[in-house]
Chains A and B, each alone.
Chain A
């Protein structure tokens, strides 16, 4: 009985440690950052399509999140994190790291530029979506694999 308890305890500890371990892994960190960018794009998209009313605070939050997350994004591709944890990162990232970083920085700086001029209505948000959205596609074309 005691042995069973001990085993269960050790197993629980291991599982817990595993979860903590996974949370800090670069693959997971970068996936979270991409989800933040996607979520922000979704918030802008809902306004652009007229599904939600124009809301300056929401637009500001979304653009800031995109700018910050995109700037941090390329910091999470160390050697050894090429695969695992359902990573969709393409090997091309490590072959063209400078270009990959430049593309992430461009998304960040363009989001800041849009933020500085602050889209004032639904049409303005739609315009911003087109600019930033094209950059999603350009980068994903070379650097993301669908598994």
Chain B
């Protein structure tokens, strides 16, 4: 009798171990192999700079209130309050100790597109790799080259202060299993070159959906609500719907969207506000055809 109980216990333990093993296999960090990032050649710094502004790096990684050239000092340290706790944005300047100066392009690329840190650990999706995952290898290489050309800072940001269970990095693997994807957010049949370029910019480096798409309690995007707006994840107010179904932006022409991104003025001369002020300033560094591509894409997506 005792041996039967023992067998049951053993079988149960074995199942638990196998279960944990399967769970770990499904949720462990999953970087691209080194070979994926090999032979990328010399980066194009001018293209890297456009990606730097398109990606909004400075909006989180520069010091709070930075303007002009100070936007290029990636010292980190800004607080990012969320429902899960407070994130402290890290230093991504070329400082070899405090920043990413000692990283390889493979380490940078896996952080950007796989959410895997330099020591093989999961990164928190407050760093929007869920969007950056769509970036091409060549763009990653150009952006990394540009970041390494910027001034170094020795500032060390404090550790994140997160609530249980979000303070367990392993749990990020479960989040990735549920929500991480590098597939297109919307399927657009017969998309023009401009719409395709806009899709790349908006869904990839621009990471527009990170604020403009409503999330569920676990921080995953609500399905079928791409760019439909919702409560501001950083505090009070609302983030607007930017699909063709929007009660405000839906009626804007493509030219009006471009003018807004260029000047910060809506068609009726209301001005940009909130976090979008920094985004709009970043957009002024993009070539006009890229702004037109963003506008074309925003007109092509499903209305919500």
**Chain A residues at the B interface, C-beta cutoff of 8 Å:** 38-39, 41-42, 45, 88, 90-91, 129-130, 133-134, 136-138, 140-141, 144-147
User: Do A138 and B277 contact each other (CB < 8 Å), given the known contacts A38-B269, A41-B265, A42-B268?
Assistant: yes
State A137–B117 Cα separation when bound (angstroms). 35
Residue among B232, B277, B280, B281 with most chain A CB within 10 A: B277
Cβ contacts B208-238/A at 8 Å (1 or 0 each): 0000000000000000000000001000111
**CB distance A38 to B270 under 8 Å?**
yes
Is B278 located at the chain interface by the 8 A CB criterion? yes
User: Do A140 and B237 contact each other (CB < 8 Å), given the known contacts A45-B265, A133-B264, A133-B265?
Assistant: no
State A136–B273 Cα separation when bound (angstroms). 8
With beta carbons under 8 angstroms apart, the residue of A45, A130, A137, A144 that contacts B280 is A137
Is B272 located at the chain interface by the 8 A CB criterion? yes
Q: Report A131 CB to chain B, min CB distance, Å.
A: 12
Residue among B232, B268, B275, B278 with most chain A CB within 10 A: B268
Which residues from chain B contact A38 at a C-beta distance below 8 Å? Answer: 268-271
State A146–B237 Cα separation when bound (angstroms). 5
State A85–B40 Cα separation when bound (angstroms). 57
User: Do A42 and B274 contact each other (CB < 8 Å), given the known contacts A145-B236, A146-B238, A146-B240?
Assistant: no
**Using a CB-CB cutoff of 8 Å, which residues 232-279 of chain B contact chain A?**
232, 236-240, 263-265, 268-275, 277-278
User: Do A144 and B264 contact each other (CB < 8 Å), given the known contacts A41-B269, A42-B269, A90-B236?
Assistant: no
State A42–B272 Cα separation when bound (angstroms). 14
Tally of contacts, chain A with chain B, CB under 8 A = 59
Per DSSP, chain A at the interface is helix
Chain B minimum-CB-distance residue to A134: B264
**CB distance A136 to B271 under 8 Å?**
yes
State A134–B264 Cα separation when bound (angstroms). 8
Q: Report B273 CB to chain A, min CB distance, Å.
A: 3
A38-B268, A42-B269, A144-B274 known; 12 new pairs, CB 8 Å cut-off, are A42-B268, A45-B265, A88-B237, A136-B265, A136-B271, A137-B271, A140-B274, A140-B277, A141-B275, A141-B277, A141-B278, A146-B240
Which residues from chain B contact A137 at a C-beta distance below 8 Å? Answer: 264, 271-273, 277, 280-281
State A90–B277 Cα separation when bound (angstroms). 15
Q: Report B65 CB to chain A, min CB distance, Å.
A: 10
**CB distance A147 to B273 under 8 Å?**
no
**CB distance B269 to A145 under 8 Å?**
no
Q: Report B170 CB to chain A, min CB distance, Å.
A: 37
Give 22 A-B contacts (CB < 8 Å), ordered by A residue: A38-B268, A38-B269, A38-B270, A41-B265, A42-B269, A88-B237, A130-B263, A133-B263, A134-B264, A136-B265, A137-B272, A137-B273, A138-B277, A141-B277, A141-B278, A144-B273, A144-B274, A145-B237, A146-B237, A146-B239, A146-B240, A147-B237
Chain A minimum-CB-distance residue to B278: A141
Residue among A41, A141, A145 with most chain B CB within 10 A: A141
Q: Report B109 CB to chain A, min CB distance, Å.
A: 32
State A38–B269 Cα separation when bound (angstroms). 5
**CB distance A140 to B236 under 8 Å?**
no
State A39–B269 Cα separation when bound (angstroms). 7
Residue among B238, B263, B275, B280 with most chain A CB within 10 A: B263
Q: Report B281 CB to chain A, min CB distance, Å.
A: 8
State A11–B274 Cα separation when bound (angstroms). 41
State A42–B266 Cα separation when bound (angstroms). 10
